[in-house]
Chains A and B, each alone.
Chain A
Amino acid sequence: MIAYLGRRLIQSALILLGVSLITFALLYLLPADPVRQIAGRSATPQTVENIRQQLGLDQPFIVQYWHYLTKLISGDLGRSYIQRSEVTELIVSRLPASLLLMVGAILCELLIGLSMGLIAAVKRGTATDQTLMVASFVGVSAPQFVVGLLLLYVFAVRLSWFPIGGYGTWRHLVLPSLTMGILGAGWYARMMRSSMIDVLRQDYVRTARAKGLARGAIIFRHALPNAILPVIAMIGIDIGIFMGGIVVVESVFGWPGIGQLAWQAIQRVDIPIIMGVTLVSAFAIVVGNLLADFIAPFIDPRIKLR
């Protein structure tokens, strides 16, 4: 167990190192010259060179990467080129909003996805099952930008149930969480359905039925707890999908999280912020996967960590 933990941690660190190297290299290869961006149109060539030197951007790639890495180890993500603030400060100020959205989105996707999957499994082969599976398919494939705008238009503009974007109260949280959650709900509905169908085929369920237990009792007391665990274990992996989604959803709803920060930084070629957000996201994904792995044996004793 300890050896496994150690091995996984080393692997994770290597993954993060790889991500940092690849992102750094990609941004280095961008044709956009960040120095010209900072220096502006009226800058003389001398000003441009001065700034390049001060930022250390006249150094070879390896030196630049090494500087970045050594600062990174001490938790310093550098200073934004355009906003001129510490990247760490910018990310930290926006993390709570993204985490809140993540919690909201996970609640939404579990609530919607699991109930859809459960009903579909119980009503397997019926029109209800098929409708739900088509709905989940749509949920998985609909672009979040479109879903977000649609929800915004119907529930905020037309019905005025929720505010039109923004941040602050629980009412602001509902629509963006739903937009994020609909994508995950589709996946969960499918996983829940197959997991539930598996469980319903098990001998113990047949025994319970033979004993004459009520259908509801069988499903909720005997089958559901066993079916739901492997599905829940996927939440860790979900973080990866989530990190991809926040860029779009936060922009649509004006949600002040790191996704929006990343989107604005990309438009302005603000390389330190793009680097920082990428690393934080990669970190979250790695941690999510680690958690999923470590939770698995507790949920399903057949899984052993080696």
Chain B
Amino acid sequence: MKKFLASTVAASALALMLGMTSARAEDTVDPNAKQGGEIIATYKDDVTTLDPAIGYDWQNWSMIKSLFDGLMDYEPGTTKLKPDLAESYEISPDGKTFTFRLRHGVKFHNGREMTADDVKYSLDRVTNPKTQSPGAGFFGSIKGYDDVAAGKADSLAGVTVVDPYTVKFELSRPDATFLHVMAINFSHVVPKEEVEKYGADFGKHPVGTGAFKLAEWTLGQRIVFERNPDYWHKGLPHLDKITFEVGQEPIVALLRLQKGEIDLPLDGIPPAKFQEVMSDPEQKARVVEGGQLHTGYITMNTTMAPFDNVKVRQAVNMAINKARIIQIINGRAVPANQPLPPSMPAYDKQYKGYPYDVAKAKALLAEAGHPDGFDTQLFAMNTDPNPRIAQAIQQDLAAIGIKASIQALAQANVIAAGGDKAGAPMIWSGGMGWIADFPDPSNFYGPILGCAGAVPGGWNWSWYCNKDLDAKAAEADSIVDPAKSDERYKMWSDIYAKIMADAPWAPVFNEQRFTMKSARMGGADNLYVDPVHVPINYDNVYVKDVQ
């Protein structure tokens, strides 16, 4: 019954069904791009690790994507899935079997050809508890995951090497997000011999199949990437060399950019300098603004009085002056009216959300039996600008009679309070807000709004648990057929609309990203605010001043 989508034509047809423009990798190369040149990028913190099974932060996320590849990736600068190390794939009608056919002739940086065995090895490794991967949980739908996670097996029963260029995944349940999971860094393919050679230090000696290879790593000073001349994707990368200088405060990096010493200060524009940069037309022209898969929100503990009353939660939603809060962060965000950020599929553009209406909020409070308001606590992280945002929320709440005392604490303490059922009546999520791991609406549900997250130590700080919605979410995620993705997204939009009716959160804003670059940097703007290759897509950018 298996029929492979062997030709790129067929793959493109499938891609079109998925809403992709094309599955052919060659199309993604910018015809205007110039080849060659070197750039310098800076970061404040030293890079922790470049091991795809371990790395899970702002800095190493996109670096790892440039050193390694997964079976799937996204069109540069977008959230559209495309096959990457896979040439094509087939999904069984029941949505429980995914078969990937690999590209031929893809080589690791050590010269050896990558095969299906490497794919299987990489997944066995990332799910093995000994690897201590923060991403192991993403593979929970693969058959045999539980045995590996419990240490009862060394190998995932659901991953089979059919032949050197074919690998088959059997899932224990239909999982519509599985292609995204195959694009996430944790599933990227590593060569066994190099992992065994370096052991726990593989993260300092990464060897992958990616567009760049690691040329130098001087701890605390710099990391140098060099173009991989054997990269399977012809025409990429454009740059010959990227030097990441670490340990540079954002303010110092900005000064160096202004002097023309560096090209990309990747920690962004420091808040104190934001107005200055944006009011200078010459500098502003080199700032790229983009969305990110982030929402900042206020959680209300639905198991604690008076927030167990939906009217109280709705009143809070109407009391928050989001525009004013956005001013506090220099306008670096857009107001949010639903859990999903605007760049996420299934975001409901028609949905209007709760209006800012103090009178109506007061009326709702009165209906709920609190005409004079009540006393409560608002938890927030203690780093700027979060205490200032908490104060703005406090004032908004005071306007409808709710007297909230602010508990500004270290991040770990806020997370601990949120994960304790009797811990925190309200939390401002700033500094800990959810940033999606992959661009799929389900990623905003399970851990932060579903019943699975409403457990001690979990991330569902509203303790909102709606069994009906859990069932609907499971139903939506069982629609694996890419042709029905619109139907699936519609189901997710409905789920989030129902959540908003119950109002366990007051969504406040979606942060925008601002990447500043030197004048010589070229490439489409969306590469500099890539929603997946965060913060920027190193493989596709180029410099304009080379021959």
Contacts and interface: CB of A to CB of B under 8 A. Distances in A.
B10 interface: no
Given A40-B134, A47-B137, A166 B245 contact: yes
A222 interface: no
Nearest to A166: B245
B134 A84 contact: no
Contact of B219 (A42, A43, A79, A90): A90
B522 interface: no
A252 to B, nearest CB: 6
Contact of B247 (A51, A85, A256, A267): A256
Contact of B457 (A45, A79, A82): A45
Contacts of A253: 252
Interface residues on chain A, size class = 35 or more
B164 to A, nearest CB: 31
A255 B56 CA distance: 25
Q: Of residues A48, A255, A264, which shows the largest number of chain B Cβ atoms within 10 Å of its Cβ?
A: A264
A41 B220 contact: no
B406 interface: no
Contact of A152 (B45, B54, B252): B252
Given A85-B204, A254-B248, A269 B149 contact: no
Interface string A51-67: 10010000000000000
B25 interface: no
A85 B201 contact: yes
Contacts of B221: 167, 256
A296 to B, nearest CB: 36
B459 A46 contact: no
A43 B132 CA distance: 10
Interface in A175-213: none
Given A39-B134, A40-B134, A46 B149 contact: yes
Interface in A139-174: 149, 152-153, 156-157, 160, 164-167
Contacts of B54: 84
Contacts of B158: none
Interface in B31-88: 45-46, 48-49, 51, 54, 56
Contact of B135 (A40, A79, A166, A250): A40
Contacts of B138: 42
A33 interface: yes
B261 A47 contact: no
B130 interface: yes
A122 interface: no
Contacts of A224: none
A264 B252 contact: no
A157 B259 contact: yes
A74 interface: no
B220 A93 contact: yes
B203 interface: yes
A88 interface: no
B136 interface: yes
A33 B412 CA distance: 8
A9 interface: no
A251 interface: yes
Contact of B413 (A31, A90, A166, A251): A31
Contacts of A166: 245, 248
Given A40-B56, A42-B135, A43-B134, A264 B45 contact: yes
B135 A83 contact: no
B130 A260 contact: no
Interface residues of B, number: 49
B248 A165 contact: yes
B447 A30 contact: no
B129 A54 contact: yes
Contact of A84 (B51, B252, B412): B51
Contacts of B248: 165-166, 254
Contacts of B45: 264, 267-268
Interface in B209-223: 218-221
Nearest to B139: A42
Contacts of B459: 41
Contacts of B149: 44, 46-47, 50
Interface in B249-272: 249, 251-252, 255-256, 259, 261
Nearest to A269: B412
Given A36-B457, A46-B150, A256-B247, A30 B412 contact: yes
A76 B151 CA distance: 28
Contact of A50 (B46, B129, B455): B129
A254 B247 contact: yes
Q: Of residues A45, A94, A254, A257, which shows the largest number of chain B Cβ atoms within 10 Å of its Cβ?
A: A254
**Chain B at the A interface: mostly helix, strand, loop or mixed?**
loop
B323 interface: no
Contacts of B201: 84-85
Contacts of B218: 256
A45 B455 CA distance: 10
B220 A256 contact: yes
Interface in B121-160: 129-130, 132, 134-138, 140, 149-151
Contact of B255 (A32, A36, A82, A157): A157
Contacts of A264: 45-46
A261 interface: yes
B470 to A, nearest CB: 17
Given A45-B457, A157-B255, A164-B252, A83 B49 contact: yes
B220 A94 contact: yes
A79 B252 contact: no
A154 B420 CA distance: 50
Given A31-B416, A264-B45, A44 B220 contact: no
A38 interface: yes
Interface in B452-491: 455, 457, 459
A219 interface: no
A218 interface: no
Given A85-B201, A165-B248, A256-B247, A44 B134 contact: no
A97 B412 contact: no
Nearest to B453: A41
Given A40-B135, A79-B200, A84-B51, A97 B259 contact: no
Given A42-B134, A84-B49, A84-B203, A165 B412 contact: no
A285 B92 CA distance: 67
Q: Of residues B56, B219, B256, B457, which shows the largest number of chain A Cβ atoms within 10 Å of its Cβ?
A: B219
Contacts of A39: 132, 134
A149 B149 CA distance: 49
B249 A32 contact: no
A164 B247 CA distance: 12
A81 B39 CA distance: 31
Contacts of B437: 42
Interface of B: 45-46, 48-49, 51, 54, 56, 129-130, 132, 134-138, 140, 149-151, 200-201, 203-204, 218-221, 245-249, 251-252, 255-256, 259, 261, 410-413, 415-416, 437, 447, 455, 457, 459
Given A31-B413, A165-B256, A268-B45, 11 more contacts: A31-B410, A39-B134, A40-B56, A45-B455, A84-B201, A93-B220, A94-B220, A97-B220, A149-B251, A256-B218, A260-B220
Nearest 6 CB-CB pairings of A with B: A40-B134, A32-B412, A256-B220, A42-B137, A50-B129, A254-B247
Interface of A: 30-33, 36, 38-48, 50-51, 54, 79, 82-85, 89-90, 93-94, 97, 149, 152-153, 156-157, 160, 164-167, 250-257, 260-261, 264, 267-269
17 contacts: A38-B132, A42-B134, A44-B149, A45-B455, A46-B150, A50-B129, A51-B129, A79-B200, A84-B48, A84-B51, A84-B201, A156-B255, A157-B259, A164-B252, A164-B255, A254-B252, A256-B221
